[in-house]
Amino acid sequence: MLRWFKQLDRILRGDATRLEQLQQGQIEFSVGGVVLVTVVLAMIYGVCMGAFAMIRTSGEAYMQLIASTVKFPLLFFLTLVVTFPSLYVFNALIGSRLSAGSALRLMTAAIGVMMAVAASLGPIVVFFSVSTTSYHFMSLLNVVACTVAGLLGLAFLLRTLHRLVLIQTYEEEKPYIPTNNTLPPESAPAPVEEQMDSTPQEKPLPASALDFMGPQPIPRVSRVFKTWVLVFALVGAQMSWILRPFIGNPAQPFTWFRERESNFFMAVFKALQSLLN
């Protein structure tokens, strides 16, 4: 388990997404191990969400804690199932050679980043669960926490896709090299990383997984992937509405799922309106 946490740590620090690590067109890590760690982190945040019900409600409050712990990991993996086909098609449209397996591996890493951020915000959620009695405030606080986690995870996804497209572009533009090794060493092509930086002063590789590397994204590539990010965000938001409740309203009895009504965005607007009033 510890080595899988270390692999996720390498992803968070950007060590797994440097250009030299992406030469094979994918991020190298144990998919099963990172998925397990991701589920554990998601369950930790689920416990933090359910803490409000344990503190502020009576009766079957423990059931809300269990429900939140189970449903929060389910939220992101169901969103992945719904949106993954569109990611693969969008990826193919921009001419990327990223295979379906590699795209799924990349999405697994991105969700791992999301869950790591969410779990890190969990203690803040518990703190406010103890210090406030407002259900609407807690609802909005969890929306903000999940939004921050989602944005950072999707930013990681966009940056890594950008790097993969850059590698593919420069690999295709490499000059032809004879196989008889007749060229002197100084005439050999520079590594991909050096080709991407044509400025006289070379810059060190960025330490962050969220930094751009090389030139800015190709406009059409950027538009396509940003469109998909919007699709993922909308599906994730509505999926959370379908799987509610996550926090547990003290004024209502426990239930695993609420009746279908309205949508996520109307609920957020009403919660904000109730909080301000």
Task: Give residue 226's pLDDT band: very low, low, confident or very high (50, 70, 90).
Answer: confident
Q: What are the tokens at 239?
A: 């999926």
d(CA 7, CA 11): 6
d(CA 263, CA 37): 31
Burial environment of residue 192 by CB neighbours within 10 A (0 to 12, 13 to 18, 19 or more) = buried
Cβ-contact 258, 244 below 8 angstroms = yes
d(CA 16, CA 167): 15
Cβ-contact 163, 22 below 8 angstroms = yes
Task: Give residue 146's pLDDT band: very low, low, confident or very high (50, 70, 90).
Answer: very high
Over 50: is that where the pLDDT of 176 sits?
no
Q: What are the tokens at 232?
A: 């993922």
Give the pLDDT score at 175. 46
For 12, 85, 129, 144, the CA distances from 117, given in Å and listed in that order, are 10, 25, 19, 12
- Where are the alpha helices (H) located in the chain, listed in sequence order? 2-13, 31-56, 61-93, 100-131, 135-172, 192-196, 219-243, 264-276
d(CA 87, CA 229): 9
Task: Give residue 217's pLDDT band: very low, low, confident or very high (50, 70, 90).
Answer: low
Can you tell me which residue has the tokens 């099963």? 32
Average pLDDT, the chain: 78
The residue ranges of every structural domain in the chain are: 2-172+205-276
Over 60: is that where the pLDDT of 173 sits?
no
Q: How many residues does the chain have?
A: 277
d(CA 147, CA 76): 12
